[in-house]
Amino acid sequence: MRRVPALFLFILLGLAGPLSAETKVPDNQGEVQLSFAPVVQRSAPAVVNIYASWVTERRASPFADDPFFSQFFGGFDRATPRVQNSLGSGVIVSADGIVVSNYHVVQEATDIRVVLADRREFAGEVLLSDREADIAVIRLADAQELPALEFAQSEAAAVGDLVLAIGNPFGVGQTVSSGIISATARTGAATRQGAGYFLQTDAPINPGNSGGALVDMSGRLVGLNTSILTRSGGSNGIGFAIPSDLVAQYVQQAVAGHDDFRRPWSGVAVQQVDGGLADALGQGIPTGVLISEIHPASPFAEADLRAGDVILSVNALPVNAQDELEYRLLTQGVGADVTVEVLRDGTANSHVVAVREAPGVPGANPIRIDADSPLAGLLVADVTPRLIDELNLPLSASGVLVVRADGPSARLGLRGGDVVRTVNGQQVQTAADLDRMVRRGARAWDMQIGRGGQTLRLRVRG
């Protein structure tokens, strides 16, 4: 018997479908030809070009700051001002002239000029910027009734959704490229951006697109284009956008008058649940993050969470990494309450956690150590949760933080960022404690110093 090719069988099966199926004839040209033109017409007018400039000082010689060599340069080593410029994109999100872009587009700009698609120009002023998140919020002077994009819920974006990237690549003028959402939970480590949480898209993004819009098929802003992975400098189809849910939080705080972003603090360190941990926890599928360390002042601790608990979700949204946990809190904003689902001893339960900033003022009331001792010249401050958060210290950090070291203390090898834990066997709790210990004097000094997650021991005679 002669065998029928598999492909032919597939075609036959396709033809063997119900004969009653109706074939619809297209009624108009729009049904014949797919076009993104209606989406572009709605969203492109709200995407702007941003021209930023700032002044930097440049030394004429690399030896100009050297205390020995500088004496040979006379007046020729004076710094000369140099104007630097950048070109990027931005998105109008409010009809009264609120624009969002990337921090690296405006940086510390002293002059910002924003040009709309209809060629109108406005002066811009930065209301709030954040280098870590790479977000800047700008207000346009004397602007009203401008075209603006509505925020989409980026949390609802799914892999495979069609999107358009709109910006000004290479300064050639406004350009639109199309693609899909190719991943929805890329962390900073994966994107080589350090911190952060991103949408990934294959819509071509190139230099100059930074700060431009990533829009959905309703013409709403789903992300702020920020970076690409590339070896050549051009797009290879892997681009990243800051989710609109996070951008909206920055706009909200900027409009409320905050010039520094109020960042929530979790006060917990977590590790991803892998296959081995899942077996030990009795999970069929690895899910969530295990709390490995928790600060006593953490809002999670106040909500009765403890080390060994597994955080499964925040407000019913999954959590599978430290960056994802921080992102969930960021998008809720300081002052909100979130419902955290936790697995403990094989049982899932819910806890209400307050979203708030780390307590304590960074560097508040620093004390200078002036008494004659090897520690003279230290400027120290109490270690608070705020300092732990801003300086990325271990959650277990305790003692006194070295803000600056001069004189004998610098020659001893101490430096900013060190944490003084003990002196001559006594625990150092506050900067005032350290000052009293030094004033009492000693014949010899034996100190434990925390530095970069390690403990150093210093011994010196008085």
Name the residues annotated as catalytic.
Answer: 104, 134, 210
Angle between helices 322-332 and 244-255 (to 10 degrees): 40
Name the residue among 55, 277, 48 with its Cα closest to residue 149: 48
In contact, 152 and 242? CB cutoff 8 Å: no
For residues 210 and 106, give the distance between their C-alpha atoms in angstroms, rounded to a whole number.
Answer: 11
* Residues across the chain: 462
**Residue 320, token pair as written in the block:** 């599978």
**Residue 294, token pair as written in the block:** 């928790």
**Residue 252, token pair as written in the block:** 């909200």
Q: Which whole-number Å values give the CA distances from 403 to 206, 425, 458, in the listed order?
A: 41, 22, 18
Name the residue among 4, 88, 106 with its Cα closest to residue 49: 88
In contact, 158 and 181? CB cutoff 8 Å: yes
For residues 182 and 193, give the distance between their C-alpha atoms in angstroms, rounded to a whole number.
Answer: 18
